[in-house]
C-alpha cells in the first residue's frame, strides 16, 4: 500500500499537468542535494516502470546531463527504455566539474537525523564516495563512460544543444509521441518523437551582482589564508550563504570534517535529538526557532570550532531579516554550526538587504549600502552574494511549461521535508541490479589483476619488531603501550560496529596526544627508526607499468607516510588512512579516523572496485598484521607479507623475505607456488 501511494505521489509531483508523458525532475524541490536528486531520478523511472509507462523500447528523452539527468537516463535504460540525453553544456555534470574546493558528501545534510555511517549513497549505480566535487564528477564520469560503452540502450548523448523545445500536440496526428526539437552544432535543427520526456534542467545560474563573483561551484580564493586581515561580507542566509560564511570563519573548512569531529559522540547525539525535536515543535515559527538557536550553547563544539578559527578574515553576514538565519529554510547542520560560531563572535550581522547597483571605492573595495541603515555605506575587501538563481532554468528554457506548473510549484513549496515522498527511496534496488548488471560486466575484465591494495605498517614501512604506527606515538609521548592496548580493547568490547568503536578510540587517543602537546615536528623523531620496505619502488613501478591500480588501506597515520614516502600521492591511486590534523603553529588538533581498518578494509577494496568497474576477484590485498586478516576469503586474493599474526598465514600466498618484489611472481604467474 505504501509503495502504491509513494509511486502515485512521485508521479503526481513530477508530471507536468496537462502534458501527459512530460516530467520535471526535482526543479521545484527544496533541500536539494546531489544524493536527493539521484533518489528522485530513480524513483521517477521506477514509478513509471511500475505503472507500465516505461518499459522495453519506450523512447525517453532526458534534457539536462547533471546528476539527476544522468541517473534518470541510466535508470531508464536499465529498465529497458531507449534513452537520448540532450545537454546544453559541452559535457556531463558541467556545474560541478573542476570544483576542487567544494566537498560533496551524500548524507551530510541529513545530520542530525542520521549519523554519518557511510560515505557513499548506497545506490545501485553512480554510487560515488564523498570527496571534492571534482573527484565525485570523475567517479561519475568513469561509470557513465562504461555504461555508454556497454549499454546500447543509451544513445550517444548530444552536447552543446540550444533551443530545446517541446512542440505542442498536433491534434491532426494520432499519438505521434512528444516531438522534441533542438539546434545542434554543425547539424542544425533536429526533431525526434519520444514517449516520455524528463526535464532535468536543475535550478539555473546564480546571479552575479558584483560582476566578478565566482559561482558556488567554481573555485574561488576564499580558502586562501591572507597575510592581512580581509573584511568580508556574505549576503544571503540560505545554505550557500551560510556555507561561505563558515568557510570564511573556519580554517580548511569542510562540512564532513567538522561533523565527523563532533557528530557521533554521546553529547552531540543528544543535542542532535533535541534539534530534531525543536525543529518539529517550532515548524513555521521562525521567531521561536531563532530564539532557540541564539540561546543554544554547546561548549565542546565551540571549543572545537574555536581552535579552528581563521585569523585573516573579519566576517559580516547580511540579509533581509535576521530571523531567516535560524528560522529560514537552510539545513539544520548549517544553522547549528553558524549558531556556535556566533557565540564565538566569529561573525557579525548587519541588517540588509544590500542596495544595488554596487560600486568600488578609491581603494578598490566594495562600497556597500545597506537599505535598512538608510543607505549607510561600508566597505569590504571581499563580497559574496548567494541570492539564488537569476531565472530558474525551467522558466528560462521552457517558459510555457513553467507557466503550466505554477500550481504544482506551489504544492512543492508547501511540502515539509519529512513529507516529501519524492526523496524517500522506493523499493527499486533490485530493479536496477538484475540481469542487466551481470551482462554489463565485460568478460575481458575478469582475469588479470586490476588492483593491488597494500597495508602500510609492516608492509610498506618496516623496522625491528615494528607492527603499527600508533604505539610509536603513544610511547614517544610517555604513555606505556600497555595503556594504549587496554584502552583500545575496552573500546572494541563496548561498541557494536567498527566505525563506532574505532572513531571513539581515535578520539580518546587524540585527547591524550593533545594533553601532551604533540606537534607535527615530533614526527621526524617518532618515525626515525622506520625504513621503506626493500623493493617498494621497483614493485610499484612494475605494477604501474602494467596498468594496475594501487591503493593503501591502512589503520596507520598519514604523517608517517608524509615522512617516509613523501611522494605517495603520485604513487598510489587511492589512500585510506587516519589523518592527523595540526593548526598553523603545527600543534596537533585532532584525528580524522579512517573508516577502513580491521573488518572494514575489505569495504574499501569494494569501494574502489565499484569506482573503477573491477570485479573483487581482480584484486589482491597485501598485508602482515591482525588488522589485515579480515580481508582473507572475502572474494579477492591475499598475500601475507612477512606475517606477524597467525590469522594472516591463511592468505593465498605467503612471502617470508622482507622484499616487496617477492610478491610479483604471485601476481603475474598464477602457477607460482608458495614462497
Ligand X SMILES: Cc1cc2nc3c(=O)[nH]c(=O)nc-3n(C[C@H](O)[C@H](O)[C@H](O)COP(=O)(O)OP(=O)(O)OC[C@H]3O[C@@H](n4cnc5c(N)ncnc54)[C@H](O)[C@@H]3O)c2cc1C
Collect all residues with Cβ–Cβ distance below 8 Å to 519 and sequence separation of at least 6.
582, 586, 587, 588
Closest CB 398 distance from ligand X, rounded Å: 7
- Complex with ligand X: residue 134 or 455, whichever CB lies closer: 134
- Complex with ligand X: residue 66 or 613, whichever CB lies closer: 66
- Complex with ligand X: residue 26 or 590, whichever CB lies closer: 26
Site mask for ligand X (CB under 6 A), range 210-239, x = bound = ------x----------------------x
Identify the residue among 32, 222, 510, 605 touching ligand X (CB under 6 A).
32
Q: Give dist(CA 417, CA 31) in Å, integer.
A: 7
Q: Give dist(CA 190, CA 57) in Å, integer.
A: 21
Closest CB 33 distance from ligand X, rounded Å: 3
The reply to whether 64 sits near ligand X by the rule CB under 6 A is yes
The reply to whether 87 sits near ligand X by the rule CB under 6 A is yes
The reply to whether 66 sits near ligand X by the rule CB under 6 A is yes
The reply to whether 65 sits near ligand X by the rule CB under 6 A is yes
Closest CB 102 distance from ligand X, rounded Å: 7
- 51, exposed or middle or buried, with CB in 10 Å at 0-12, 13-18, 19+? exposed
Collect all residues with Cβ–Cβ distance below 8 Å to 539 and sequence separation of at least 6.
660, 661, 663, 664
Question: Residue 113: which of 272, 3, 347 has the closest Cα?
Answer: 272
Q: How far is CA 498 from CA 307, 597, 599, 610, in A?
A: 28, 8, 7, 21
Identify the residue among 286, 397, 590, 643 touching ligand X (CB under 6 A).
397
The reply to whether 33 sits near ligand X by the rule CB under 6 A is yes
Closest CB 220 distance from ligand X, rounded Å: 12
The reply to whether 240 sits near ligand X by the rule CB under 6 A is yes
- Complex with ligand X: residue 124 or 635, whichever CB lies closer: 124
Identify the residue among 9, 10, 11, 34 touching ligand X (CB under 6 A).
34
Buried b (16+ CB within 10 A) or exposed e, 112-142: beebbebbbbebbbbbbbbbbbbbbbebbee
Closest CB 106 distance from ligand X, rounded Å: 7
**Per DSSP, which regions of 289-392 are E strands?**
313-319, 347-351, 359-360, 366-370, 376-380, 382-385
Q: Give dist(CA 147, CA 142) in Å, integer.
A: 9
Closest CB 304 distance from ligand X, rounded Å: 21
The reply to whether 68 sits near ligand X by the rule CB under 6 A is yes
Q: Give dist(CA 359, CA 594) in Å, integer.
A: 48
Q: Are 636 and 619 in contact (CB under 8 A)?
A: yes
Q: Judged by CB under 6 A, which stretch of 2-10, 34-42, 413-421, 467-475 contacts ligand X?
A: 34-42
- Complex with ligand X: residue 10 or 164, whichever CB lies closer: 164
Separation of first and last alpha carbons in the chain: 60
- Complex with ligand X: residue 35 or 513, whichever CB lies closer: 35
- Residue list 94-113, contact with ligand X (CB under 6 A): 94-95, 104
Closest CB 164 distance from ligand X, rounded Å: 4
- Complex with ligand X: residue 202 or 623, whichever CB lies closer: 202
396 three-class SS? helix
Identify the residue among 67, 296, 452, 629 touching ligand X (CB under 6 A).
67
Q: Are 282 and 200 in contact (CB under 8 A)?
A: no
- Supply 518's cell numbers: 604533540
Residue 551 has phi, psi (to 5 degrees) of: -140, 155
The reply to whether 26 sits near ligand X by the rule CB under 6 A is yes
Q: Judged by CB under 6 A, which stretch of 82-90, 421-429, 449-457, 577-585 contacts ligand X?
A: 82-90
Closest CB 197 distance from ligand X, rounded Å: 12
The reply to whether 254 sits near ligand X by the rule CB under 6 A is no
The reply to whether 401 sits near ligand X by the rule CB under 6 A is no
The reply to whether 405 sits near ligand X by the rule CB under 6 A is no
Residue 549 has phi, psi (to 5 degrees) of: -80, 150
Q: Give dist(CA 550, CA 575) in Å, integer.
A: 9
The reply to whether 157 sits near ligand X by the rule CB under 6 A is no
- Residue list 559-618, contact with ligand X (CB under 6 A): none
The reply to whether 392 sits near ligand X by the rule CB under 6 A is no
- Complex with ligand X: residue 33 or 627, whichever CB lies closer: 33
- Supply 540's cell numbers: 610499484
Q: Give dist(CA 420, CA 31) in Å, integer.
A: 10
Question: Residue 511: which of 474, 557, 485, 556 has the closest Cα?
Answer: 474
Q: Judged by CB under 6 A, which stretch of 62-70, 171-179, 341-349, 363-371 contacts ligand X?
A: 62-70
Chain CA centroid to CA 406, Å = 33
Closest CB 393 distance from ligand X, rounded Å: 4
- Residue list 174-213, contact with ligand X (CB under 6 A): 200-203
Identify the residue among 89, 360, 371, 387 touching ligand X (CB under 6 A).
89
- Complex with ligand X: residue 29 or 458, whichever CB lies closer: 29
Q: Give dist(CA 16, CA 188) in Å, integer.
A: 28
Collect all residues with Cβ–Cβ distance below 8 Å to 293 and sequence separation of at least 6.
325, 326, 335, 336, 339
- Interacting residues with ligand X (CB under 6 A): 26, 32-35, 37, 63-69, 86-89, 94-95, 104, 161, 164, 200-203, 216, 239-240, 386, 393, 397
Amino acid at each position: 500500500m505504501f509503495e502504491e501511494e509513494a509511486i502515485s505521489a512521485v508521479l503526481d509531483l513530477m508530471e507536468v499537468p496537462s502534458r501527459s508523458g512530460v516530467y520535471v525532475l526535482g526543479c521545484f524541490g527544496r533541500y536539494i542535494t546531489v544524493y536527493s536528486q539521484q533518489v528522485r531520478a530513480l524513483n521517477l523511472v521506477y514509478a513509471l516502470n511500475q505503472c507500465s509507462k516505461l518499459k522495453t523500447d519506450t523512447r525517453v528523452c532526458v534534457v539536462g546531463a547533471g546528476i539527476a539527468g544522468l541517473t534518470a537516463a541510466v535508470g531508464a535504460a536499465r529498465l529497458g527504455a531507449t534513452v537520448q540525453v540532450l545537454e546544453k553544456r559541452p559535457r556531463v555534470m558541467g556545474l560541478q566539474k573542476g570544483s576542487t574546493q567544494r566537498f560533496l558528501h551524500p548524507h551530510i545534510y541529513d545530520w542530525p537525523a542520521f549519523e554519518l555511517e557511510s560515505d557513499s549513497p548506497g545506490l545501485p549505480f553512480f554510487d560515488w564516495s564523498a570527496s571534492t566535487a571534482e573527484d565525485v564528477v570523475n567517479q561519475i564520469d568513469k561509470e557513465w563512460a562504461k555504461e555508454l560503452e556497454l549499454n546500447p540502450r543509451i544513445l550517444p548523448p548530444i552536447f552543446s544543444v540550444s533551443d530545446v523545445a517541446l512542440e505542442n500536440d498536433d491534434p491532426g496526428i494520432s499519438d505521434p509521441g512528444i516531438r522534441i526539437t533542438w539546434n545542434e552544432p554543425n547539424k542544425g535543427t533536429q526533431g525526434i518523437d519520444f514517449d516520455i520526456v524528463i526535464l532535468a534542467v536543475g535550478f539555473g545560474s546564480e546571479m552575479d551582482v558584483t560582476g566578478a563573483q565566482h559561482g558556488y561551484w567554481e573555485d574561488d580564493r576564499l580558502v586562501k589564508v591572507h597575510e592581512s586581515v580581509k573584511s568580508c561580507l556574505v549576503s544571503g542566509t540560505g545554505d550557500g550563504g551560510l556555507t561561505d560564511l563558515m568557510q570564511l570563519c573556519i580554517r580548511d573548512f569542510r562540512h564532513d570534517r567538522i561533523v565527523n569531529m563532533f557528530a557521533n559522540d554521546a553529547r552531540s547525539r543528544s543535542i542532535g535529538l533535541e534539534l530534531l525535536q525543536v525543529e518539529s515543535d517550532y515548524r513555521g515559527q521562525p521567531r521561536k526557532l531563532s530564539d532557540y538557536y541564539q540561546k543554544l550553547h554547546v561548549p565542546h563544539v565551540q571549543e572545537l570550532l574555536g581552535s579552528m578559527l581563521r585569523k585573516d578574515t573579519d566576517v559580516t553576514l547580511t540579509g533581509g531579516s535576521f530571523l531567516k538565519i535560524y528560522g529560514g529554510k537552510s539545513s539544520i547542520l548549517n544553522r547549528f554550526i553558524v549558531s556556535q560560531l556566533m557565540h564565538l563572535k566569529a561573525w557579525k550581522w548587519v541588517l540588509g538587504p544590500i542596495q544595488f547597483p554596487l560600486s568600488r571605492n578609491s581603494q578598490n573595495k566594495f562600497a556597500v549600502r545597506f537599505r535598512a541603515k538608510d543607505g549607510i555605506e561600508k566597505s569590504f575587501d571581499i563580497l559574496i552574494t548567494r541570492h539564488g538563481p537569476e531565472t530558474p532554468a525551467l522558466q528560462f528554457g521552457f517558459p510555457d511549461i513553467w507557466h503550466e506548473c505554477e500550481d504544482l510549484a506551489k504544492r512543492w513549496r508547501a511540502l515539509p521535508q519529512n513529507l516529501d515522498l519524492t526523496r524517500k527511496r522506493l523499493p527499486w534496488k533490485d530493479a536496477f541490479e538484475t540481469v542487466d548488471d551481470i551482462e554489463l560486466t565485460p568478460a575481458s575484465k575478469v582475469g588479470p589483476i586490476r588492483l593491488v591494495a597494500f597495508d602500510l605498517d609492516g608492509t610498506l614501512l618496516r623496522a625491528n619488531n615494528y607492527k603499527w604506527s600508533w604505539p610509536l606515538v603513544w610511547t614517544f609521548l610517555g604513555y606505556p603501550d600497555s595503556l594504549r592496548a587496554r584502552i583500545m580493547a575496552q573500546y572494541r568490547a563496548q561498541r557494536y560496529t567498527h566505525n563506532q568503536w574505532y572513531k571513539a578510540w581515535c578520539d580518546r587517543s587524540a585527547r591524550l596526544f593533545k594533553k601532551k602537546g604533540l606537534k607535527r615536528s615530533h614526527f621526524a623523531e617518532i618515525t626515525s627508526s622506520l625504513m621503506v620496505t626493500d623493493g617498494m619502488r621497483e614493485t610499484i613501478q612494475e605494477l604501474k607499468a602494467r596498468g594496475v591500480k594501487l591503493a593503501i588501506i591502512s589503520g596507520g597515520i598519514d604523517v608517517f607516510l608524509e615522512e617516509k614516502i613523501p611522494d605517495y600521492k603520485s604513487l598510489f591511486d587511492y589512500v585510506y588512512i587516519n589523518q592527523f590534523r595540526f593548526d598553523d603553529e603545527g600543534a596537533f588538533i585532532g584525528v580524522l579516523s579512517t573508516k577502513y581498518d580491521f573488518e572494514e578494509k575489505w569495504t574499501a577494496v569494494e569501494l574502489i572496485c565499484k569506482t573503477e568497474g573491477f570485479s573483487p576477484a581482480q584484486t589482491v590485498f597485501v598485508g602482515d598484521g591482525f588488522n589485515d586478516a579480515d580481508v582473507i576469503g572475502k572474494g579477492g586474493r591475499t598475500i601475507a607479507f612477512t606475517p606477524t599474526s597467525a590469522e594472516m598465514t591463511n592468505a593465498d600466498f605467503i612471502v617470508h623475505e622482507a622484499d616487496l618484489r617477492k610478491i610479483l611472481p604471485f601476481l603475474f604467474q598464477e602457477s607460482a607456488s608458495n614462497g
